[in-house]
Amino acid sequence: MSTAKKDYKRITVKSLIEMKANQEKISMLTAYDYTMAKIVDGAGVDVILVGDSASNVMAGHETTLPITLDQMIYHASSVIRAINRALVVVDLPFGSYQSDPKEALRSAIRIMKESGGHAVKMEGGKEIKESIKRILNAGIPVMGHLGLTPQSIYKFGTYTVRAKEEEEAQKLKEDALMLQKAGCFALVLEKVPAKLAKEVAQSLTIPVIGIGAGNGVDGQVLVTHDMLGMTHEFHPRFLRRYLDLYTEMTNAFTQYVTDVKAVDFPSDEEQY
């Protein structure tokens, strides 16, 4: 049974703003490949994020910094081929938009043209305001990302909760308002106190999608591999695991090894 308030055949940036106005929560998950995206889209998830977390999840890097624009385009175009309904948002990777607005626009255009993605996501506030405006002026929808912004991990030094102190909370509120005024269609808030996230969500007309930001926001996002329990060594407080795929997959692979060694697989029925 669907719990959606309105049956959207195709999610657009306008649908998300409408969902917020109708107090319908927005669901968002990551995907980096065709097969996963097909399942996520088919399950009715509103927004698929081709996150630069692919750098960790798919490539095994410690941070999101190493992933390149070409690699993001490869992941995004695989996801786009699977989609019937979801809005596909693609992260602009580290190094593809920070130096100047022209470079930012060139990177965003490459994502839109070469992958077919529907929007881009960028980390940061007023420091990247001109780049955001330039991209928006070209007709490319932008989702903001504030709070814990993993592309700045070496500046923060840790992945702990952001904006607990008044000064940082104040800057975050100003940045959120700036992103809305600039024309962003939505905003991700990562790992900030629930009270602050709720206040930001209530002060904006654009949707605020949280990860580790409590339930007073307009939607939730998780990394799919985390919520499926595939990345079992990662267990922050905000993560709800819907499956324990690490254990289930390990059991399946172990059984396969046993069956092959015992010449139990393939059976008579499994051969020509």
The reply on whether position 223 binds ligand KIV by CB under 6 A is: yes
Angle between helices 69-80 and 34-42 (to 10 degrees): 50
91 labelled binding-site residue: yes
Coil/strand/helix, residue 101: helix
Minimum distance, C-beta of residue 150 to ligand KIV, in the bound complex (Å): 7
Q: Is 188 in the site for ligand KIV (CB under 6 A)?
A: yes
Write the CB contacts of 114 (distance below 8 Å, at least 6 apart in sequence).
73, 77
40 vs 223, which CB is nearer to ligand KIV? 223
CA 112-130-51 angle, to 5 degrees, is 40
Q: What is the DSSP string of 187-209?
A: EEEES--HHHHHHHHHH-SS-EE
Whether residue 52 is annotated as binding a ligand: the answer is yes
Q: Is residue 142 within 8 Å of 185, Cβ to Cβ?
A: yes
211 near ligand KIV, rule: CB under 6 A: yes
What 3-state DSSP class applies to 119? Answer: strand
For ligand KIV, which residue of 24, 41, 46, 91 counts as binding (CB under 6 A)?
91
Write the CB contacts of 102 (distance below 8 Å, at least 6 apart in sequence): 134
Residue 190 falls in the annotated catalytic set:
yes
Q: Which of 221, 227, 228, 230 touches ligand KIV by CB under 6 A?
A: 221
Tokens of 49: 């994020």
User: Closest approach of Cβ 174 to ligand KIV, in Å?
Assistant: 21
Region binding ligand KIV by CB under 6 A among candidate stretches 45-53, 95-103, 131-139, 153-161: 45-53
What's the min distance (Å) between Cβ of 17 and ligand KIV? 19
Judged by beta carbon, residue 223 or residue 227, the one nearer ligand KIV is 223
**Least gap, CB of 107 to ligand KIV (angstroms):** 16
Q: Would you say 230 and 211 are in contact if contact means Cβ atoms under 8 Å apart? A: no
The residue from 166, 167, 190, 199 that is catalytic is 190
Is 218 annotated as belonging to a binding site? no
Report if residue 147 touches ligand KIV, rule: CB under 6 A. no
Q: Which residues contact 141 (CB under 8 A, 6 or more apart)?
A: 13, 118, 119, 120, 185
Residue nearest to ligand KIV (CB): 51
Q: How many CA atoms lie within 13 A of 225 on its CB side?
A: 19
Residues with catalytic annotation? 190
Binding-site residue positions = 52-53, 91, 121, 123
Instruction: Give the interface with ligand KIV as residue ranges (CB under 6 A).
Output: 30, 49, 51-53, 91, 188, 190, 211, 221, 223
Q: Name the binding residues for Mg(2+).
A: 52, 91, 123
